[in-house]
Each structure stands twice: as structure tokens, then as C-alpha cells.
Amino acid sequence: MSNQVWALLQEHGIVEGAQPESEVLESPWYIKALLAFSGWLAAIFILGFIGAAFQFVFKTPGAALIFGGIMLVGAFALLRIPANEFVEHLGLATSMAGQALIAYAIFDFANHNQIVVWLLLAMLQVALVVVMPNFVHSIVSTLVAAIAISMALTELHIPYVIGGILIFGTSLCWLHEFHYPQQMKKIRAIGYGLVLAIIALKGTAQFNYQTFGGLSSENHEFWAQPWLGELMIGAVTLYVVWSLLQRYGQPVRSRLSIITLLATLLICAVSMNVQGITVGMVIISFGFFCANRVLLGLGIVSLLFYISSYYYLLDTTLLDKSQSLLMVGLILLFVRWLMFRIFPIGNEVHHA
């Protein structure tokens, strides 16, 4: 609708306020998928051409660093073009290739020092999260940065603290999502990246891969104990529950707040044995709080995955695992019964 038409409607009292922005028609999903495939295919051919024409790039770390930086600048320019799926995915593929070249150069310049390599890669990804104007790119960069930090902590023999760090960062993003409207899109991208990272890292820990690292379980240092990570996650879970109660206007000393915090503490204590329950519950809580179906689905799937993977682990007998899962189920059912007993649904409907 033109400005003249909107002004004419305002004169006759048909509409009020500023003219709304025109809606952008989105392509169907199969068109987007075709354009995405075309973008990545075009990027592969471009990389093949560069590799054939400039073979020295893959042999000289300095040249790889320069060409990687040029590709990142080109990706930045491509990603600034609005509403073009083909160009967007071409920019994403170009950025990934440039990051691979820079990672190769960093690995050589750091003299194969694993800690330095992972920290520099994490710093690169954090910078890309801030600079790159693309939602998907920010999610991927956040995920890669979290994995790089996890690898660095594994090399330092303190891998389990990454769970508490990531869940705390996730809580900051989703609890304060609407506090900064101009940065909301970037905050959501970082939040999704951290959620995917905590799910992936926690999932590998379930199968004793120890956050992609392979840290020996014989390490008896305080910071290298698995229970420390669960303790940190439990503390963040209590913080999230307390924050949500404050958001809904519940005093700390109210009966609802006390029961909710005690129930959360009890679930966190049980999760020390059945790891992953608190992570799934926190993600589900964010999904309900933000009315976000993606987070809700990720939380439900991760919770089912953690429980089922725990049941099929071979380091504990089936009897012990069955008893632990039975205890968790009974505690959850008791908490649900207690909440409905103290705060009946009928009273809420009556007040509404």
C-alpha cells in the first residue's frame, strides 16, 4: 500500500497510526530447500576452483589465513543481501570454508598447542556471532564456540564445568530475551546455539565420551569430578526456577515458591545419579515461559533421550538403573500430586 493511499484512509478515519510495514511473501519450503542446495553446490564449485587455481593456499598457513579472511569478508557482504535464500546459503558455505582455512592456519601458528588452538577458535566464533548479520550463522557459530571451549576445558582436565557454564548462558539468553528488543534476534540465535550445544555435549557425556575429549575417569582432582558439573547445573536450575517465580509475582516466602524450590532441589538431587534430567527440564521450562515450541520440542526430546540412554548404559546393572528411574518417576508424580493438592485447578479457573 502506497503512502498516498494510507494518508487518504487516515483522512476519512478508516485507519489510525503509522503505516504498517508491507509483508514479505516467503517462498514455499521446497523452493527454499532447492535454493539452499544450489547455494551450497555453487560454493563447493567455487572452493574447487580456488583449490585448483591456488594450490599454494592449502600448503602455506599464511596464505590460508589471508584467503580465509577474504572469504569471511565476502560471506559478510553476501549475508547482508536481504531476502535471498540462494545468496544466504552461498554466504554460509563461503563462511564455513573461510573458517576452515583460518582454523588450519591457527593450528599451524599455535605450534599444535591444543589449548591455544581451541581458545583461538572459540574467540573467532564469538567474533563471528557478533559481526555476521545472519540468524543461522549465529546459531552455528555459537554451537562451534561452545564445543571449542569444551575441548579447551577438556585439555585442561576440567571438562564437566562446561555444562554449568552453558546452561547458565542459556538461562541468561531466554530469561532476558525481551529486555533488549533491538538485539532480540541475535539473543535468540545465541540461545538456540547454546541449547543445541548443551544437548550435544551432555549426550556425549552420557556415553562416557567425556565431552569429545576422553578424559580418564581415574583423575581424582576436585575440578575433574563428574558430580561437580551436575552440582553446577542444579544450582543454575534453582536460579531459573527462582527467576520464573519472581517473573510471575510470587514472593520467595510464599507457599508456592517454597514448595516449588524444594521440589526442584529434590529433582536436582535425583539427577546426580540419572544425569541429564535437569537439563531437559530447564529447556522445557524455557519453552513454556517463552511460548516457544522449538525449545519445548528440544526439551522433551532431550529428556527422553537422556532417560533412555541412561537405561541402556552398561556401567550399571539393570536393577540399579530400574530403581533409579522408578525413584525419579515416583518423585515427579508426587510433586505433581502435591502441586494439584495444594493449588487445585478449580480455584485457578474460578479466580480467572
At 128 the pLDDT is: 93
Going by the DSSP 8-state scheme, the letter that residue 344 receives in this structure is -
Domain ranges for the chain: 30-109
> What would the pLDDT profile of 153-201 be if each residue is shown by its tens digit?
888 888 778 888 999 999 999 988 888 878 888 999 999 999 999 988 8
Intra-chain end-to-end CA distance of the chain, in Å = 41
Rounded average pLDDT over 101-126: 88
The residue type found at 189 is A
How far is Cα 187 from Cα 262, in angstroms, rounded to an integer? 31
Nearest CA to 287 out of 138, 170, 165, 137 is that of 170
How far is Cα 303 from Cα 164, in angstroms, rounded to an integer? 17
Q: Do 335 and 278 contact (CB within 8 A), yes or no?
A: no
Using H for helix, E for strand and C for coil, what is the string for 230-275? HHHHHHHHHHHHHHHHHHCCCCCCCHHHHHHHHHHHHHHHHHCCCC
What band does 216 get if pLDDT is binned at 50, 70 and 90? very low
21, 42, 90, 114, 116 from 151: Cα distances, Å:
45, 32, 29, 9, 11
> What would the pLDDT profile of 289-345 be if each residue is shown by its tens digit?
888 888 999 988 888 888 777 766 656 677 777 777 777 778 778 777 776 776 665
Q: Do 289 and 248 contact (CB within 8 A), yes or no?
A: no
> What would the pLDDT profile of 1-60 be if each residue is shown by its tens digit?
556 766 777 776 666 667 666 555 556 656 666 766 776 777 677 767 776 766 667 778
Indicate the Cα dihedral angle 100, 105, 106, 110, nearest 10°: 150
Q: 285 is written with which cell numbers?
A: 521450562
How far is Cα 152 from Cα 173, in angstroms, rounded to an integer? 23
Checking if the pLDDT of 110 tops 90, the result is no
pTM of structure: 0.76
Checking if the pLDDT of 217 tops 60, the result is no
Q: 284 is written with which cell numbers?
A: 522445557
| Grid cell 517465580 in the structure block, residue | 245
Q: Do 124 and 115 contact (CB within 8 A), yes or no?
A: no
Checking if the pLDDT of 69 tops 70, the result is yes
At 192 the pLDDT is: 93
At 131 the pLDDT is: 93
At 342 the pLDDT is: 66
Checking if the pLDDT of 352 tops 70, the result is no
